[in-house]
A and B are shown apart, each in its own frame.
Chain A
Amino acid sequence: MAKIVDRKPLSLLEKTNIPQILKGLYITLVNFFRPKVTLQYPDQRPVIPNNYRGVPTLVKDPNEREKCVSCQLCEFVCPPKAIRITPGTISEEADTAHVEKAPQEFEINMLRCIYCGLCQEVCPEEAIFLQDIYSINGLSREELVFNKSKLYELGGVLPDKHYKWDKKRDDALHGNENH
């Protein structure tokens, strides 16, 4: 059954619409003198808070070592299957030969990425971070599949708390003192 709502009939003054127009003009006038909240994007850019989930990027440690070891956990966890890794071996002559494994190719399809941050959360090497880049564009689909060099270019160098692999190399060079 339809519910009947009582509506008060409009008064004569209200029927002229004049009070409403004046009220609207008043609100506009008040806002006219308030500080501006709109940013003049793209000339002005917002301040990105910490822990913002922007474009996923690959990072290097302060010694310029690529941190990703292509364990493929991010590829596994990625809900939209945006990540595609081709694992590879580090040659035995390289400086970081003791790490043994590094990605041959690392692709993130930015058309698929949903910025959920699961890749960052799952990474055991702290190699992938969703940083503060929020605006990307391209002229073709291929351009928006970010490859390894593009991801490192975007990611740059982040500080490292552990230097896990450097410690491992030191241990391997010096051995256990009791041995």
Chain B
Amino acid sequence: MTEENKTVTVTIDGLDVEVPPGTNMIEAAALLGKEVPHYCYHPKLSVAGNCRMCLVEMGMPMRDRATGEAILDEEGNPKIGWMPKPAIACATEAAPGMRIKTDSELVKNCQEGVMEFLLVNHPLDCPICDQAGECSLQEFATDYGRGASRYIEKKNVKPKRTRLGPRVTLDDERCILCSRCVRFSKEIAKDDVLGFIDRGSYSTLTCYPGESLDNNYSLNTVDICPVGALTSTDFRFKMRTWFLKRTPSICTESSTGTNTEVWSREGVIYRITPRRNDAVNDTWMTDSGRELYKLVDSEKRLKAPAINGGPAVLKEALERAAEFIQGGSIAYVGSGRASVEEQYLLKAMVKQAPGDAHLIGRFGPGDGLLLAADRNPNVRGALLTGLIDKVPEAHLKALSKKIDSGAVKTLLVHNEDLLAVGITTAQLKKLNIVYLGTHENATSAAAKVTIPTLTVFEKSGSFVNQQFRLQGFAQAVPGPAGVMPDMLVLSRLLALVSKQECALDNAEAIWASMNKELPAFKGVTFKDSNISDGGLLLDGSTFKSFNFFDSQTLHYDPQTS
């Protein structure tokens, strides 16, 4: 056994568990499926040890002071020296031979006492509190509390409905002073604006005078708040959490590929929260990424196929589009926001009716945390599927020249606006544009054929993030009535252009084909692409020499990877 993977054996409630050194007792107990209740401890933040909820009994094997030999009892087992007082599990690191009791009489008394103190000044706002249903205070009060209050004095009054920042509302009465938000702001967001003022039961969470909690990660404090003190102003009073269905998804904001969870009810999305992935985003996500669901219900949404701007039947629109594509002199503009499956289908189309394929590069300043400079979620996917062979540029100068020279007469655009990338309205007007996309823009307005498609929340697929990690997203809500997923539109178009049945009309078939055709996806099956747990790291060494103009994020460094 090498030095690095040495493990320590600890005994929790009589059961042995092997853990890496440095693991604390909350995590060790979790490995055994035992819950040690806790508020202030968070796996991605420093240990504060101030909520006292995780008190457990701890003991170590006794040793002879003179010789260092273990002292044995009559039966030859090591004698355990139990600590006279309980210890907090979050700050107790595994040591060889350590014993822990998580459900002894003393521990139960401790938990009851701590719960009683935490609830002394709690306003019992549950009917109007957004945290109800996912509140640790509610859960632990039923699991570990005494069930009734003995407190007859008046409760403390603290400020309610305080705006900490543009997106976060604070209710100080509900705060249990766990300091998770304070530590998050300081350690992760590096925007140390939160702190406690006053003492004892009058302690109050506030912003430093003149500051506000307005960084792009402020809503993570809402996620990690174990009670209803910090609430999202956007989600506030919108819907109770127990009605919401959770769907694993991937954030499309940048190439980081933040794992997310989409919360919806009856086809309406109410909020997006991060999903833990220790190799990508830990447990965090950006505030800007959480707002992307608003695009689903936008006025600019395309809902029906159109030919020359007038309403049309999908079949006719597809046939007209196929005619244009068969006419030749075609170029393609794919999307770095499309899924791997869609990019592969577009590549199949390029093979069928050859033409240049372009992708639009989107770049912005990276923040070194979860917002990468490459603002496309799936440029790597387009490279792996062979749709493009170089890193996309922000301006399509080559295409612009070809349009002017008349070499390109038809353009198949997949959900991109060409006006923003150096193509003028006059140039667009010269072309026969077939536009497949979700929202109206200048390109869809100039298009001869428009076919509506679905947003990332309304379809399933997969992205390849900046680490070449393949991550799947699932359909959270149904799309507008009659609108087909991009994958089906593309495969039907492909069938019309090739004048034969297209077998690539479902994800399973597409993955089987990619498996066969593309070396990078060898051995990766449809099932793998659906993985919502951790993702699958693909081999991106072919593109090692490429400059992706990407920036460092939490678990990605452009220099080393």
- Co-complex (A, B): yes
A residues whose Cβ falls under 8 Å from a Cβ of B: 69-73, 75-76, 87-89, 92, 98-101, 124-125, 168, 171-172, 175-177, 179
Contact among A69, A92, A171 with B157 in the assembled complex (CB-CB below 8 Å): A171
Distance from A164 Cβ to chain B, minimum over Cβ atoms (Å): 9
Residues of B within 8 A of A176 (CB): 154-157
Distance from B367 Cβ to chain A, minimum over Cβ atoms (Å): 32
The distance in angstroms between the C-alpha atoms of A168 and B173, with both chains bound, is 12
The verdict on A179 contacting B127 (CB below 8 Å), with A71-B240, A72-B243, A88-B237 known, is no
Tell whether, in the assembled complex, residue B160 and residue A98 are in contact, meaning their CB atoms are under 8 Å apart: yes
Residues of B within 8 A of A168 (CB): 123
Among A92, A98, A100, find the residue whose CB has the most chain B CB atoms closer than 10 A: A100
Residues of B within 8 A of A177 (CB): 154
Question: Would you call B65 an interface residue if the criterion is a C-beta within 8 Å of the partner chain's C-beta atoms?
Answer: no
The distance in angstroms between the C-alpha atoms of A175 and B243, with both chains bound, is 36
Q: Which residue from chain B places its CB closest to the CB of A70 in the assembled complex?
A: B237
Question: Would you call B128 an interface residue if the criterion is a C-beta within 8 Å of the partner chain's C-beta atoms?
Answer: yes
Q: Which residue from chain B places its CB closest to the CB of A76 in the assembled complex?
A: B242
The verdict on A69 contacting B161 (CB below 8 Å), with A87-B237, A179-B156 known, is no
The distance in angstroms between the C-alpha atoms of A135 and B109, with both chains bound, is 54
B101-140 vs A, CB cutoff 8 Å, 1 = contact: the mask equals 0000000000000000000000100111000100000000
Residues of B within 8 A of A171 (CB): 154-155, 157
Question: Would you call B208 an interface residue if the criterion is a C-beta within 8 Å of the partner chain's C-beta atoms?
Answer: no
Tell whether, in the assembled complex, residue B126 and residue A124 are in contact, meaning their CB atoms are under 8 Å apart: yes
Question: Would you call B239 an interface residue if the criterion is a C-beta within 8 Å of the partner chain's C-beta atoms?
Answer: yes
Question: Would you call B202 an interface residue if the criterion is a C-beta within 8 Å of the partner chain's C-beta atoms?
Answer: yes
Tell whether, in the assembled complex, residue B239 and residue A87 are in contact, meaning their CB atoms are under 8 Å apart: yes
Residues of B within 8 A of A88 (CB): 237
Q: Told that A87-B237, A171-B157 touch, could you supply 9 new A-B pairs with CB distance under 8 A? A: A69-B127, A71-B240, A76-B240, A98-B160, A99-B128, A100-B161, A168-B123, A175-B157, A177-B154
The distance in angstroms between the C-alpha atoms of A125 and B126, with both chains bound, is 11
The verdict on A101 contacting B157 (CB below 8 Å), with A72-B243, A124-B127, A179-B202 known, is no
Distance from A64 Cβ to chain B, minimum over Cβ atoms (Å): 19
The distance in angstroms between the C-alpha atoms of A92 and B236, with both chains bound, is 14
B354-395 vs A, CB cutoff 8 Å, 1 = contact: the mask equals 000000000000000000000000000000000000000000
B230-248 vs A, CB cutoff 8 Å, 1 = contact: the mask equals 0000001111101100000
Contact among A71, A92, A172 with B128 in the assembled complex (CB-CB below 8 Å): A71
Distance from A91 Cβ to chain B, minimum over Cβ atoms (Å): 11
Tell whether, in the assembled complex, residue B240 and residue A72 are in contact, meaning their CB atoms are under 8 Å apart: yes
Residues of B within 8 A of A175 (CB): 157
The distance in angstroms between the C-alpha atoms of A100 and B231, with both chains bound, is 13
Residues of A within 8 A of B157 (CB): 171-172, 175-176, 179
Q: Which residue from chain B places its CB closest to the CB of A73 in the assembled complex?
A: B127
B150-163 vs A, CB cutoff 8 Å, 1 = contact: the mask equals 00001111001100
The distance in angstroms between the C-alpha atoms of A101 and B127, with both chains bound, is 9
Interchain Cβ contacts under 8 Å between A and B, 7 examples: A70-B237, A71-B128, A72-B243, A125-B127, A171-B154, A172-B160, A176-B157
Tell whether, in the assembled complex, residue B237 and residue A89 are in contact, meaning their CB atoms are under 8 Å apart: yes
What 5 pairs between A and B have smallest CB-CB spacing? A71-B127, A101-B128, A72-B240, A124-B127, A87-B237
Residues of A within 8 A of B239 (CB): 72, 87
Q: Which residue from chain A places its CB closest to the CB of B156 in the assembled complex?
A: A176
The distance in angstroms between the C-alpha atoms of A85 and B155, with both chains bound, is 31
Distance from A175 Cβ to chain B, minimum over Cβ atoms (Å): 5
Residues of A within 8 A of B128 (CB): 69, 71, 99-101
The distance in angstroms between the C-alpha atoms of A101 and B228, with both chains bound, is 14
The distance in angstroms between the C-alpha atoms of A101 and B202, with both chains bound, is 26
Q: Which residue from chain A places its CB closest to the CB of B127 in the assembled complex?
A: A71
Contact among B127, B156, B161, B240 with A92 in the assembled complex (CB-CB below 8 Å): B161
Tell whether, in the assembled complex, residue B243 and residue A100 are in contact, meaning their CB atoms are under 8 Å apart: no
The distance in angstroms between the C-alpha atoms of A73 and B127, with both chains bound, is 8
Q: Which residue from chain B places its CB closest to the CB of A123 in the assembled complex?
A: B127
The distance in angstroms between the C-alpha atoms of A76 and B157, with both chains bound, is 31
Residues of B within 8 A of A179 (CB): 156-157, 202
Q: Which residue from chain A places its CB closest to the CB of B125 in the assembled complex?
A: A100
Tell whether, in the assembled complex, residue B154 and residue A100 are in contact, meaning their CB atoms are under 8 Å apart: no
The distance in angstroms between the C-alpha atoms of A80 and B320, with both chains bound, is 48
Tell whether, in the assembled complex, residue A87 and residue B161 are in contact, meaning their CB atoms are under 8 Å apart: no
Residues of B within 8 A of A72 (CB): 239-240, 243
Tell whether, in the assembled complex, residue B126 and residue A76 are in contact, meaning their CB atoms are under 8 Å apart: no
Distance from A66 Cβ to chain B, minimum over Cβ atoms (Å): 13
The distance in angstroms between the C-alpha atoms of A99 and B236, with both chains bound, is 14
B325-352 vs A, CB cutoff 8 Å, 1 = contact: the mask equals 0000000000000000000000000000
The distance in angstroms between the C-alpha atoms of A178 and B211, with both chains bound, is 30
The distance in angstroms between the C-alpha atoms of A69 and B238, with both chains bound, is 13
Tell whether, in the assembled complex, residue A71 and residue B132 are in contact, meaning their CB atoms are under 8 Å apart: yes
Q: Which residue from chain A places its CB closest to the CB of B161 in the assembled complex?
A: A100
Residues of B within 8 A of A100 (CB): 128, 160-161, 237
Residues of B within 8 A of A99 (CB): 128
Residues of A within 8 A of B154 (CB): 171, 176-177
Among B128, B156, B236, B240, find the residue whose CB has the most chain A CB atoms closer than 10 A: B128
Distance from B141 Cβ to chain A, minimum over Cβ atoms (Å): 15
Residues of A within 8 A of B237 (CB): 70, 87-89, 100-101
Q: Which residue from chain B places its CB closest to the CB of A104 in the assembled complex?
A: B237
The distance in angstroms between the C-alpha atoms of A87 and B132, with both chains bound, is 14
Residues of B within 8 A of A89 (CB): 236-237
